[in-house]
Amino acid sequence: MSVEIPIGTSVHVKVPASSANLGPGFDTLGLAVSLYDHVYVEVIDSGLEVEVSGEGENDNPLDERHLVVRAIRAGLNAADVTVRGLRVRCQNSIPQSRGLGSSAAAAVAGVMAANGLAGNTLSESTLIQLASTFEGHPDNAAASILGNAVVSWTNISVDGRTAPQYEAARVDVHPEIKATAFVPDFHASTEAVRRVLPSNVSHLDARFNVSRAAVMSVALRDRPDLLWEGTRDKLHQSYRAEVLPVSAEWVNRLRNYGYPAFLSGAGPTVMVLSTEKVAQDLVEEATKRGIRVLNLDIAEAVEVTLGES
C-alpha cells in the first residue's frame, strides 16, 4: 500500500547543466557544468500549482504536461508514495534548446525532488534510469546526477520487448580543466538536428571515433594536453554543420586557434574544454555577433535539500 507524504513536506533541487558528446562520444560522454536550475517542490492539500521564472518562463505549460511535473510523478510512482497536491516552482538559468541539457536537467530535478520527498529511497541507478527514460539516452541526465564527467551506455534487449536500461559511470575531471560555452541566440531542435545524420557510417570513421573517445576519457581525468585530440569527431558534427552553420564556423575557428572546441550536444552551443582561457579578442568578436560567452567550472552532482520551498 502506497504511503502518503505529509502536507508541508518540501524539497529544493539544484541541478547543473550538462554538455553531451564532447566531440567523439556520441550519446556516451557527458559533462556537468556550473550553470544551474533550481526547483522547489512542496506537498500541498490538493491540486497542482506550477510557477516558472527565468529561461523558458513563457514557453512551458504550467500543468501536468510540464517536464518537471511528469518526472516528479514518475519518481513518486517508483518510490510507491502519493501526494494530495503539489506546488512546483522552477527558477531556470540553463538556456533551453541550446545543447546544454535543459530538458535532462528538468527530468533530473523532478525525479530527485520526488526521491527527496519520499525519504531518498531510490537507488542511484534507478534515478539514472528514470531521468534518462525521458531523454532516450543517459549522457546528459547521468552527468547532472553524478557530476563531473560520465561515460554512459544503453543496454537494449535482444527481443526488443524489455525497456532499454541506461547506465553510467562517473569520471573525475582534472582540476585545471574549465569550460567556456559559446551560446548563440537561437534554438535548435534535437530531433531536427538528428535527422541530418546518416543511417550508416564507414568503418574508418567509426574506428576514428572509438579511438578519440578513448583518448578523451584519459584527457578528462589525467591529461588535459590531449583535449584537442580527444575532442575530434567524424560521426556527427560535420553533418550537423549544414543546419548549424554559425556553430560550425565557431567550432572550426576556435579549433584553428588551438582550442579544444566541439558542438555541445545537438547544439547550437559550442563548448571549449581547456586549462587556458579563450583569448579576449575571440570572446569580444563572438559577443558582437550576438553569442553569449559563459565561463564555467566543472560541476559536482545535483544537490537535494529537504525543508526548502
Binding region for ATP = 95-105
b/e code 236-265 from CB counts within 10 Å (16+ = b): bbebbbebbebbbebbebbbeeebbbbbbb
Cα 80–chain centre separation? 27
Tell me the CA distances in angstroms from 120 to 8, 37, 74, 309, one per residue in order. 17, 20, 14, 17
DSSP letter string, 109-134: HHHHHHHHHTTS-S-HHHHHHHHHHH
Give 200: exposed, middle or buried? Use CB within 10 Å, 0-12, 13-18, 19+: exposed
256 HSE (CA, 13 A, CB side): 7
Beta-carbon neighbour count of residue 166 at 10 Å? 23
Separation CA 100–CA 102 (nearest Å): 6
Whether residue 217 contacts residue 267, with contact meaning beta carbons closer than 8 Å, is answered with: no
For 65, phi then psi, to 5°, come to: -75, -20
| DSSP type of residue 277 | P
Annotated binding site: 95-105
Whether residue 86 contacts residue 66, with contact meaning beta carbons closer than 8 Å, is answered with: no
